[in-house]
Structure 1
Amino acid sequence: MIFLGKREGKKKPWVTKEIIDLCDRRIDLMQEKYTSHESRIPETWGKVRMKMKEAKKELIDVASINIDKESAAFLNR
């Protein structure tokens, strides 16, 4: 089994390797002690939220298309 990022597996199917890498980067930025990185922390949080929303919406769209196809095939029998 392949684990993405620092976590062991994923529970949400829309979470991609790119999103996990952004989350890990966000955590690393928060753990740094220098204030020069403070301006990048909100930017990284925003990127994570945006990517999560896009990925989740895409997964829901694909699932709804699959459901529509299955229901149409069932009704046409």
Structure 2
Amino acid sequence: MPPPAPTMPPIAAPLPAPFPPPATAPPAAPTAAPTTAPSAASFTTSCVLFCSPTCEAAYRLQASTTSCVGTAGVAGTAGAT
């Protein structure tokens, strides 16, 4: 008498299929790069001030404050020695 055939374990039922992906629009295509490089804000501001009447007033104000910067310090330390 031949030996008994090996018994196979029962095969588990396959998992159910996943749900289909939601019907959403595909992502938008990338936009093209700008043709000109953006300029820095400080550069733009300097150009605007340079070409406006404010420039002269700002220049005079800065020049007047710079010319007075060292005088108060010198006068204050003259008697301190």
Superposition TM-score, scaled by structure 2 size:
0.35
Which has the higher Rg, Structure 1 or Structure 2?
2
The structure where helix makes up a greater share of residues is: 1
